[in-house]
Amino acid sequence: MTFAEQFPIVLGSLNTGFLQTFRLFLITLVGAIPLGMLLAVAEISRWKLLRAFIRTVVWIVRGSPLMIQLLIIFYFPGLVLNTPIWGGGESGRFAAASVAFIINYACYFCEIFRGGIQGIPVGQEEAGLVLGMKPAQIFFRVKLLQVIKAILPPISNEIITLIKDTSLARIIALQEIIWAGQSFMKGSQGISGVIWPLFFTGIYYLAFTGILTILFARLEKKLSYFR
Amino acid sequence: MKKIVAMLLCLVLLAVSALSVAEAAGDKDYVVGKGKLIVGITDFEPMDYKDESGEWIGFDADLARAFAASLGVEIEFQEIDWDNKALELDSKNIDCVWNGMTLTEEVLAAMTCSKAYMNNAQVVVLPAAKLADYATVESLASLAFAAEAGSAGEAVLTELGYTVNAVQNQAAALMEVKAGTSDAAVIDALMAAAMVGEGTSYPDLTYTLPLNDEQYGVGFRKDSDLAAALDEFLAAALADGSLAKIAETYGVQAALITE
């Protein structure tokens, strides 16, 4: 089979794979950002026990490889608890991967949010109180926009890392783009023993992170007031 | 506090081990009950591979379809990571491994397997230009081999005391030879027949010298009664000629075990 004949088949397969990558990316963001905010709020709350609990969770999740977390979340229910909650099909694998990614990224986001909130000088809170504002008013009207400005660069860092981390989901046989590229090394749809589709997946990642970089640069520019 | 934590941990461990002992003897009932047989496969021509419309075909795929029909259940093919096959089975994410699986000691220890249904061998793949220099098993001793990690090929090479680079899969082993990072590879004969030589992606490679004899079987969960059910099904399919017919479709009739 010539390269010209291979190309459309490979492209179709990589597109399907990338769609799965993109879905995992999107659902992780949608789940992890709100969960991360919740964790951040809990981590700076007044209750010592809650703080300690969140810190332990964050330590465990950030301190162990995402690959291990994927394996545990997918295999543990059936293997140890004897109740295979995910189902073995592609949708079950996607659900398990989503849960693992959301928990993992929420913990990173949590630390970024906490840093952003705690980075605001205490003087602003005191000034607000003196002026007779309520703590909630101070948070939403004075601090929040500054927090968003401050955390945008680290958040964009995490988001770009996320798009590449999705490839780890192949360990539980989620057929994302790396899996799709690799399948042609062995043989798939009449094409076997070719390695270029695997390298070609890099183009997808580059294009996608390129778009994200531009979007974030625009967003940062839009938020560049207070100077 | 520490004592309480230790006691709790013990309890959890006990509960976990109790649960895992309560494994199903009625695996067939479990599969029939949920109405679906999930077959763990990899893309492996001519056993399991996709046709142009994306449907799974191949000798094993067709046979698995017929077996599922005999049980009266639907079939679902799920691609798995070959390294995790036992894990996939035990966690019930798949119900069997049916993908030209060599019945090695490790496989037999981890799964309850059907009787062997097909013969295979591990063969040496090397550049066609070098073929004449390596006519005997002894002459191969100086070569650096590539073989799939955990495969039958790796086991044979280790037994012979040859140098082995363990790589991710059989395709990667071929890639090593093509790239010149290994001198030769050891892979399944059936796969070599499909992937190496003229008209394939590896026209400059050829295969020779079987290093062993081995057989393919289907793996089920430990102590599953599905293995016996499959043995019955295979015996019947052999007797009525349908097994040979499927084998001929994919050109593997010579390797079929017919006794």
Domain boundaries, chain A: 11-222
| A183 touching B (Cβ < 8 Å) | yes
CA A78 to chain centre: 26
- Residue A140 DSSP one-character state: I
Top residue of A71, A83, A192 to mutate, by most chain B CBs within 10 Å, is A192
Domain B21-119+215-255 identical in fold to domain B122-212 = yes
* pLDDT tens per residue across all 259 residues of chain B: 556 556 655 555 556 555 554 444 589 999 999 999 999 998 888 899 888 888 999 999 999 999 999 999 999 999 998 888 999 999 999 999 999 999 988 899 999 999 999 999 999 999 998 888 888 888 888 899 999 887 888 888 988 899 898 888 888 898 889 888 899 999 988 888 888 888 778 888 998 878 888 999 999 999 999 999 999 999 999 999 999 999 999 888 888 998 7
Interface test with A, best of B75, B93, B200 (most A CBs within 10 A): B93
Q: Quick one: A110 exposed, middle or buried, by C-beta within 10 A (0-12, 13-18, 19+)?
A: buried
Four-way CATH pick for B122-212: 3.40.50.720, 1.10.260.40, 3.40.190.10, 3.50.30.30? 3.40.190.10
Q: What's the complex ipTM?
A: 0.71
Say whether A75 and B93 touch across the interface (CB within 8 A): yes
Please choose, from the candidates A70, A88, A72, A90, the residue with its C-alpha nearest in 3D space to the C-alpha of residue B30.
A88
CA distance A209 to A212: 5
C-alpha dist (Å) from residue B154 to B58, B98, B108, B130:
26, 21, 17, 22
Among B85, B122, B141, residue whose Cα is nearest residue B216: B122
Structure tokens given for B252:
């593997």
Q: Are B137 and B235 in contact (CB under 8 A)?
A: no
Q: Which helix (H) or strand (E) holds B227?
A: helix B226-239
Give A-chain residues touching B172 at CB under 8 angstroms. 185
- Contact check, Cβ <8 Å, B79/A74: no
What b-and-e string marks burial along A133-154, b requiring 16 or more CB atoms within 10 Å of the CB?
A: eeeeebbeebbeebbeebbbeb
| Dihedral angle computed from the Cα positions of residues B201, B204, B205 and B206, in that order, rounded to the nearest 10 degrees | 110
Each domain of chain B, given as residue ranges in start order, spans: 21-119+215-255, 122-212
Q: Kind and range of the H or E element at B112?
A: strand B112-113
CATH classification of A11-222 is 2.30.30.60, yes or no? no
CATH H-level superfamily of B21-119+215-255: Periplasmic binding protein-like II (3.40.190.10)
Query: Distance (Å) from the C-alpha of residue B122 to the closest C-alpha of chain A?
Result: 17
Output the pTM of the full model. Answer: 0.79
3-state SS assignment for residue B223: coil
Q: How far is the CA of A203 from the CAs of A45, A220, B141, in angstroms?
A: 44, 26, 42
